Amino acid sequence: MSPRTHKSVTVRVPAKVNVQLAVGAARADGFHDLANVFLAVSLYDEVTVTPAETLTVTCSGPDADQVPLDRTNLAARAAEILAARNGRSDAVHLHIAKNIPVAGGMAGGSADGAGALLACDALWGLGTPRAQLLEICAELGSDVPFSLVGGAALGTGRGELLTPVEAGTFHWVFAVADGGLSTPAVFREFDRLAEGRSIPVPQAAPALLTALASGDADALAATLANDLQPAALSLRPQLAATLEAGTSAGALATLVSGSGPTTAFLVRDPESALKVAAALEASGTCRTTRTATSPAPGATVLPS
């Protein structure tokens, strides 16, 4: 065996919460223009790539059985696109250590796509310029560029055009629901609920950006907004009880994370996070909880 077959690269990639998700009218291409204020949180998947005879995907973690292991997996697609762009026929084994809820509105699949891209780039020693990596990310999905960059950013267009924004430290609890929600279905429900109404051009709220930069949790709590929340609640009415349980437990603000069904609870400090998480678990309105802080770094190659 050549030494090359022993080489592997692991990349760690964060989940996201959208502190503002302003959604415009449906575009001709089926997407919606957004003003999407992304915040990376300290919940991570790890993607490990190893040279292999054929492209294979494995996954570990509590929700591993819900993750597709074929070529539709965003990590597999990322590896294939990067190889094709560089005229390479290398195959890899991709292992995903999954900690981000699946189909939960926290960009778990996107994280794995960005992670696999960066890992393959490092494994193959390509040194692909950042702008090209971001272009491939946008081809993989609207959330994937943010998974690569992490931190805090405003996403415009369909969410793929990123401008970094300032963010202080915030503490979060996430309530993981039973089962996922399909992102296209939530956008369709948004369209249905918006029928007959004029939809404003989506814009980032200056007060939210100021609150985010200040690290003032009360100010951020007053400005959190997700236009997809009514659609997610319409498809999954039980989420209202989860949000209510978080409010009763003392969360400063509650919101559906992206397209849901994960719900996000902004809390003052790590102690409140533990208290709110315990109350949510005791309420029986969610499957499990996670605590996290923001902002978190984007996709990062781990030392081997």
Ligand X SMILES: Nc1ncnc2c1ncn2[C@@H]1O[C@H](COP(=O)(O)OP(=O)(O)OP(=O)(O)O)[C@@H](O)[C@H]1O
Ligand Y SMILES: C[C@](O)(CO)[C@H](O)COP(=O)(O)OP(=O)(O)OC[C@H]1O[C@@H](n2ccc(N)nc2=O)[C@H](O)[C@@H]1O
Q: Which stretch binds ligand Y (CB under 6 A): 27-35, 46-54, 62-70, 200-208?
A: 27-35
Contact call for residues 8 and 303 (beta carbons, < 8 A): no
Per-residue contact track with ligand X, 16 to 45, x per CB under 6 A? ------------------------------
Give me the torsion for CA of 210, 211, 212, 216, rounded to 10°. Answer: 140
For 87, residues 6+ apart whose C-beta sits below 8 A from its C-beta are none
Q: Which element (helix H / strand E) includes 14?
A: strand 9-26
Q: Which is nearer to ligand Y, 142 or 254 (CB)?
A: 142
Active site residues: 16, 143
Q: Which stretch binds ligand Y (CB under 6 A): 127-135, 179-187, 197-205, 262-270?
A: 179-187
Q: Which is nearer to ligand Y, 19 or 273 (CB)?
A: 19
User: What's the min distance (Å) between Cβ of 265 and ligand Y?
Assistant: 18
Beta strand extents in 53-184 (DSSP E only):
56-60, 91-97, 152-156, 161-164, 170-176
User: What's the min distance (Å) between Cβ of 107 and ligand Y?
Assistant: 6
Nearest alpha carbon to residue 224 among 15, 16, 21: 21
Cis omega (within 30 of 0) on the bond before 295? yes
Q: Which residue has the CB atom at the shortest distance from ligand X?
A: 109
Q: What angle do helix axes 239-248 and 270-283 make, rounded to 10 degrees?
A: 130
User: What's the min distance (Å) between Cβ of 291 and ligand X?
Assistant: 18
Per-residue contact track with ligand X, 68 to 87, x per CB under 6 A? x---xxxx------------
| 125 is an annotated ligand-binding site residue | no
151 sits near ligand Y (criterion: CB under 6 A): no
Count other Cβ atoms within 10 Å, centred on residue 132. Answer: 13
Q: Which is nearer to ligand X, 148 or 249 (CB)?
A: 148
Give me the torsion for CA of 218, 24, 110, 108, rounded to 10°. Answer: 50
| 61 is an annotated ligand-binding site residue | no
| 297 is an annotated ligand-binding site residue | no
Q: Please, which of residues 126-155 interact with ligand X by CB under 6 A?
A: 143
Instruction: Detail the residues annotated as belonging to a binding site.
Output: 101-111
Binding-site annotation: residue ranges for ATP: 101-111
